[in-house]
Amino acid sequence: MARLLAGCCLLLIGLIANSQTTIDVDKDRGLGGGNTKYLNSVAGTPFLNTKFSRLVEGTPFFNEQMMRATLISNEGNEYKNVLIRLNLMESQVNYIDDRKTEMIVAVPVKEVILHDSLNNKDHRFVFSNYIETIDKPEKDFYELLQTGKVKLYKQHKKRLMENKPYGSATYEQYIKTDIRYFVLVSGKWIKIRKIKELTDQLTDKENEIQKFVDEKKLTKDSETNFEAIVAYYNTLPGQQ
């Protein structure tokens, strides 16, 4: 009986250990490679840069350089300390495999958290399929700026343009990044460009919001002011 109980305990410990959903890449495989068997095992495809071979300005990536990141799958599994580039032009996540090859993640990615060590800041991106709205956002990764009852998102919209210089036989490529802002209010996905468009969605706390805007002199239609208003709204009674 004692041996049976000991065996059951060891089996239970093993099951608990295997059920952990957070995978620390550095701990498992060491620094440098930036990836592990967990991503390699899902048959990612090599990233070929031929599509942007004539690019003379701009980038399809949030950051052209590889960054440390945490990836969260659609099942909630976390892959930490992965070296990636977030391709916002094609809504793809590129990573470096054990052979130092740049690959495209093949499994659905729900969130990407980029760790900007230079500025001591994290950038959290949510894929459009996992934004809980009754509307259908354009396919993209959206940066989550504020969370709470009302959420504020930022879209780094990438547009590819081509131009054929005079006397040239080939086209040159340019990628332009347009910044757009959206709020998620009661399941509705709403694009905002001005403070007035934002405050019009917060009518249940109209007086408090207007007082806050006036006292803080928030007159400029800027990201900083959008964030301040949404953050303040989410602290008001009844919004937690």
Mind listing the pLDDT tens digit for each residue in 50-66?
778 788 889 999 999 99
Spatial contact of 57 and 174, defined as CB atoms under 8 Å apart: yes
pLDDT digit of tens for each residue in the chain (240 aa)?
445 444 444 444 443 334 334 444 444 433 233 444 555 544 567 777 777 878 888 999 999 999 999 999 888 888 898 899 999 999 999 998 878 888 898 888 999 999 998 889 999 999 999 999 999 999 999 999 999 999 999 999 999 998 877 767 788 899 999 999 999 999 999 999 999 999 999 999 999 999 999 999 999 999 999 999 999 999 998 766
Q: What is residue 41's predicted lDDT score, i.e. its pLDDT?
A: 47
Q: What is residue 4's predicted lDDT score, i.e. its pLDDT?
A: 44
Q: What is residue 72's predicted lDDT score, i.e. its pLDDT?
A: 93
The residue ranges of every structural domain in the chain are 20-192
As a whole number of angstroms, the distance between CA 46 and CA 23 comes to 23
Q: How far is CA 236 from CA 34, 100, 164, 229, in A?
A: 42, 49, 54, 11
Q: What is residue 38's predicted lDDT score, i.e. its pLDDT?
A: 52
Rg (CA), the chain: 22
Q: What is residue 27's predicted lDDT score, i.e. its pLDDT?
A: 47
147-197 pLDDT, tens digit per residue, is 999 999 999 999 999 887 776 778 889 999 999 999 999 999 999 999 999
Backbone angles phi, psi at 215, to 5 degrees: -65, -35
Spatial contact of 163 and 174, defined as CB atoms under 8 Å apart: yes
As a whole number of angstroms, the distance between CA 25 and CA 154 comes to 28
Q: What is residue 46's predicted lDDT score, i.e. its pLDDT?
A: 73
Q: What is residue 239's predicted lDDT score, i.e. its pLDDT?
A: 66
Cα of 105 vs its chain's centroid, Å:
14
Q: What is residue 118's predicted lDDT score, i.e. its pLDDT?
A: 87
- Using a cut of 0.85, tell me whether the model's pTM lies above it: no
Query: Judging by DSSP bridges, how do beta strands 151-163 and 141-146 pair with one another?
Result: antiparallel
As a whole number of angstroms, the distance between CA 219 and CA 221 comes to 7
Q: What is residue 34's predicted lDDT score, i.e. its pLDDT?
A: 41
